Structure 1
């Protein structure tokens, strides 16, 4: 999640899917945005808070910042 905004229906559908799944098993979500910027993607800030709450409950949050793999591969291809 990071480049496309969600309308109300899409937001509610995603929330329901993650909420239902989180009660039964693991959920993996990847995104380029920190949780603090998720309100830019979803219309309902209360729903964002509830979604983040469900995703982070008993979870591991990995913050992986580093150089772009794609950019590195582009530079390597240009110099070979």
Structure 2
């Protein structure tokens, strides 16, 4: 089975989410489809009407969870913002 990766700034509501959902649902019958979102996406996104959450990867969450450096940097940034 072929693998397809769709990359884009997918958010919550709008045309990109609907188009990506249509394309992913159509291609999922002939290929394994994954979607990589470079934007801010929540669980209220319209794309979840078309595909399961197991097919979607959020870049920011993935980097935060997989790299200790980014996690520490985010915590330090948060602490600095709260001090001001």
Identify whether the pair has TM-score above 0.5, normalized to the shorter chain. Answer: no
With the shorter chain as reference, the TM-score category is 0.3 to 0.5
More strand by share: 2
Q: Return the TM-score normalized by structure 1.
A: 0.40
